Amino acid sequence: MLIATEETFAPVLVIEEFTSEQEAVTLANNSKYGLSGAVFSQNIAKAHAIAHQLNVGGVSINDAALTGFVHEAEKQSFGLSGLGGSRMGAESIRRFIRKKALLTNTGVRSPWWF
């Protein structure tokens, strides 16, 4: 389904059946995008194990929107998602800073210049 593989930017919950955890991970990763995801489980260790397999920048565990509301953790978007650097944590501000290098030739001979 397109809704399961494209970015919607809307409050949409796609429900798909699966027969194994590996199939669930494969279904979740079947997209060219990867901004965020969510894993729900009573077994937190299992939820973390599954979350590590998802090709997304942030995973909410037992919540659908933590990656949208908790801004202290740094994350990177995967695939064709996002705008580049982290949208969370201190790194989120640094992505708007452009660095410039100023290189000055002082006339001193260099082995790198002929």
Q: pLDDT at residue 63 above 60?
A: yes
The total domain count for the chain is 1
In a domain, 32, yes or no: yes
Give the range of the structural domain holding residue 72, as residue numbers without chain letter: 2-94
Give the CATH number for residue 88.
Answer: 3.40.309.10
Residue 17's alpha-carbon distances to 14, 21, 24, in angstroms, are 10, 11, 8
pLDDT at 23: 97
Distance, in Å, from the CA atom of 53 to the CA atom of 51, rounded to the nearest integer, reads 5
In a domain, 101, yes or no: no
pTM as predicted: 0.67
Between 48 and 63, name the one with better pLDDT: 48
